């Protein structure tokens, strides 16, 4: 077991202990005896110090040519590649996902850093013709200023990487408030920025609670933009409070992602992907498969295939070889998932799981057995609310139209998926499924580095993350009108 680490803030290039005197311990969710360390719950004043440091570093970073900023990102990526295994082990220990899942999320993050670093040489605007002779117009991309990044625990590497890289390449300076549950993975990334040679104050890491340190970031007048990923409740509050200060805001929030399975689907294929989507990362992915909507004609056979596969899933400490399902991240989340399972027992028919998992050395962690409910109604709470655990509600519907209607009958709109061999219905679903990302014959999870990521309805507001839209969020367009006639303009001006 590694010795406990000390959580510190990184402000203006210096590591410091918080003066708040309040700390939060972080223990391995697979083994409560394993203490990672304690991280500070910083004060509002400490957050203000982070913002001041970012403000001070802004002129220098903004004046650094974009291709040089891109070179920094390439160097950072090379460094992180060398540290990938170490970071994966830390994420598994701190967040609980398996080593393969941790390595996968780091790789996805690194792909995004690479893509965004390349964008540094394409930080271009437009040239436009003018209505006037001897005039022309062009546009510039400029940084927003100090940007605030607020991140969740469930992707402690990928999400910070996909926010930090575009924020930096566009010339902004950053204050980053990570989740209280993953302070050490966040600190690892901040240390790597320092090691890669980022100038002091360009990124500042301030640990703390959302309601205090986070709220200071969201409401501070020197912060031009907020990029938030997390729950719907927090995102709604943040969106409102940041908008009151006329900040640019991007909130990516919860999901209730449906897989639709039609009667003509390859059910073996669908079953494998549903298992991966629902129980991978213990169901703690924003894009996790959290509703299965199946046409009645295929329902019994699909359920049989799912239950067979669930029996052979290996549950345990994600650091052990072969483990496929790790623990729930924290006691609070564990309790919340068990409460939903209790609700599910009153709303539907339990097919498997439904309880804590304590076998195979899992007695000392927050483990829950993969759970499936059948005969779930569209209105049931377990079909409407984000559970964020290894729980799959199954809804039976008569046909394709009913399946689409049920899929859209939720407030969220992140990811969706449909399994069918019918090209007409696949394209009809592409048109009508209310989500930001639809997968055809593949799971609800996953995305590529150069592709926009995000949702609609109660899931997402503001520009999409990753892909070219990330550059749009982290930059402003300035328009320059050039008149090279050297003469006073005559006629009307609009
Ligand atoms: P959370 O909302 O509890 O916390 C996220 C972050 O926001 C944390 O850093 C927290 O401290 C901070 N925060 C909370 N309240 C705040 C406030 N009032 N002001 C400022 N900051 C505040 O979410 P979580 O439990 O860490 O993450 C899980 C949630 O994230 C799930 O709902 C999941 O669906 C969502 N998520 C969404 C996406 C996406 O891209 N749509 C990706 C990953 C996770």
The pLDDT assigned to 446 comes to 87
pLDDT at residue 490, as a whole number: 78
Cα separation, 294 vs 310, in Å, equals 18
DSSP one-letter code for 281: G
Residue-level pLDDT at 260: 98
The strand order across the sheet containing 391-397 reads 349-352, 371-374, 391-397, 289-295, 257-261, 415-419, 437-440
Give the Å distance between the CA of 152 and the centre of ligand 1.
Answer: 5
Contact between 340 and 319 (Cβ < 8 Å): no
What the chain holds in terms of domains, given with CATH numbers, is 5-253+459-479 (3.40.605.10), 257-440 (3.40.309.10)
pLDDT at 83 over 90: yes
What is the secondary structure of 169-234 as a DSSP string? Answer: HTT-EEEEE--TT-HHHHHHHHHHHHHTTPPTTSEEE----IIIIIHHHHH-TTEEEEEEES-HHH
| Percent of residues, the chain, with pLDDT higher than 70 | 99
The more confidently predicted of residues 117 and 492 is 117
Residue whose CA is at the smallest distance from ligand 1 atom 8: 179
pLDDT of 492 > 70? The answer is no
Of 231, 236, 254, 329, the one to substitute when testing ligand 1's pocket (max ligand atoms within 8 A of C-beta) is 231
* Torsion from C-alpha of 482, 487, 491, 493, nearest 10 degrees: 30
> What is the distance in A from the centroid of ligand 1 to the CA of 484?
51
Residue closest via CA to ligand 1's atom 23 equals 230
pLDDT of 343-395, one tens digit each?
999 999 999 999 999 998 999 999 999 999 999 999 999 999 999 999 999 99
Distance CA 211, CA 183 (A): 16
**Residue 5 — very low, low, confident or very high, per pLDDT cuts 50/70/90?**
confident
Q: Do the Cβ atoms of 178 and 186 come closer than 8 Å?
A: yes
Question: What CA–CA distances, in Å, run from 201 to 146, 168, 222, 275?
Answer: 11, 12, 15, 44
Nearest CA to ligand 1 atom 34: 254
What pTM was computed for the model?
Answer: 0.98
Backbone angles phi, psi at 376, to 5 degrees: -90, 135
Calculated CA dihedral for residues 255, 258, 409, 153, nearest 10 degrees:
-10
What separation in Å is there between the alpha carbon of 95 and the centre of ligand 1?
14
Q: Where does ligand 1 bind, in terms of residues with CB under 6 Å?
A: 150-155, 177-180, 210-211, 214-215, 218, 229-231, 234, 237-238, 252-255, 286, 386, 388, 414, 455, 459
Instruction: State the average pLDDT for the chain.
Output: 97
**Which one, of 215, 201, 104, 57, lies nearest residue 150 by Cα?**
215
Residue nearest to atom 3 of ligand 1 (CA): 231
CA of 230 to the centre of ligand 1 (A): 2
Average pLDDT over residues 292-313: 98
Residue 456 parent element (H or E): strand 456-457
Q: Residue 288 has what pLDDT? A: 98
CA dist 180 and 40 (Å) reads 9
CB atoms within 10 A of CB 133: 8
pLDDT above 90: residue 494 = no
What are 451-472's pLDDT values in tens digits? 999 999 999 999 999 999 999 9
- Beta carbons of 394 and 294 less than 8 angstroms apart: yes
Question: Closest ligand 1 atom to the C-alpha of 455?
Answer: 41
Kindly indicate the confidence band of residue 493, based on its pLDDT and cuts at 50, 70 and 90. Answer: low
Residue to substitute in 40, 44, 152 for testing ligand 1 pocket (most ligand atoms within 8 angstroms of CB): 152
Rounded Cα–Cα distance for residues 124 and 378 (Å):
47
Distance CA 306, CA 300 (A): 10
Structure tokens at 405: 């209607």
How many whole angstroms from 235 Cα to the centroid of ligand 1?
7
pLDDT in tens, 218-263: 999 999 999 999 999 999 999 999 999 999 999 999 999 999 999 9
């Amino acid at each position: 077991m590694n010795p406990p680490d000390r959580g510190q803030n990184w402000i203006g290039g210096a590591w410091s202990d918080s003066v708040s005197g309040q700390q939060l311990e972080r223990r391995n969710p697979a083994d409560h005896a394993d203490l990672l360390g304690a991280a500070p719950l910083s004060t509002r004043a400490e957050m203000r110090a982070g913002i001041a440091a970012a403000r001070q570093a802004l002129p220098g970073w903004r004046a650094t040519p974009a291709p040089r900023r891109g070179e920094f990102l390439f160097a950072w990526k090379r460094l992180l590649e060398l540290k990938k295994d170490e970071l994966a082990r830390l994420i598994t220990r701190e967040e609980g996902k398996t080593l393969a899942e941790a390595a996968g999320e780091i790789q996805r993050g690194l792909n995004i850093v690479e893509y965004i670093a390349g964008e540094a040489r394409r930080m271009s605007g437009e040239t436009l013709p003018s209505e006037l002779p001897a005039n022309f117009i062009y546009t510039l991309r400029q940084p927003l200023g100090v940007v605030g990044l607020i991140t969740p625990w469930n992707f402690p590497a990928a999400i910070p990487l996909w926010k930090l890289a575009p924020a930096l390449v566009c010339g902004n300076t950053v204050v980053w408030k990570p989740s209280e549950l993953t302070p050490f993975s966040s600190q690892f990334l901040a240390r790597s920025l320092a090691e890669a040679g980022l100038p002091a104050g360009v990124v500042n890491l301030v640990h703390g609670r959302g309601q205090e340190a986070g709220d200071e970031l969201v409401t501070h007048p020197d912060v031009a933009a907020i990029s938030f990923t997390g729950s719907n409740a927090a995102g709604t509050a943040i969106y409102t409070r940041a908008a009151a200060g006329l900040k640019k805001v991007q909130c990516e929030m919860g999901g209730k992602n449906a897989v639709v399975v039609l009667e003509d689907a390859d059910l073996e294929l669908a079953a494998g992907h549903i298992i991966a989507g629902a129980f991978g990362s213990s169901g703690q992915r924003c894009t996790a498969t959290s509703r299965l909507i199946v046409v009645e004609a295929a329902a019994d056979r699909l359920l049989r295939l799912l239950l067979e596969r669930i029996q052979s899933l290996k549950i345990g400490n994600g650091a052990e070889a072969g483990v496929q399902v790790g623990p729930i991240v924290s006691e609070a989340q564990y309790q919340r998932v068990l409460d939903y399972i209790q609700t599910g027992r009153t709303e539907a028919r339990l097919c498997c799981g439904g309880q804590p998992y304590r076998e195979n050395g899992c007695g000392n962690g927050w483990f829950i057995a993969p759970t499936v409910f059948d005969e779930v109604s569209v209105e049931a709470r377990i079909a409407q609310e984000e559970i964020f655990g290894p729980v799959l509600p199954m809804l039976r519907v008569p046909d394709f139209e009913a399946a689409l209607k049920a899929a859209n009958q939720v407030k969220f709109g992140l990811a969706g998926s449909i399994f069918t061999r019918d090209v007409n219905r696949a394209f009809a679903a592409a048109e009508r499924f209310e989500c930001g990302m639809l997968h055809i014959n593949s799971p609800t999870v996953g995305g590529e580095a150069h592709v926009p990521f995000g949702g609609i309805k109660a899931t997402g507001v503001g520009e999409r993350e990753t892909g070219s839209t990330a550059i749009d969020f982290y930059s402003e367009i300035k328009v320059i009108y050039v008149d090279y006639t050297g003469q006073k303009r005559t006629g009307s001006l609009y």
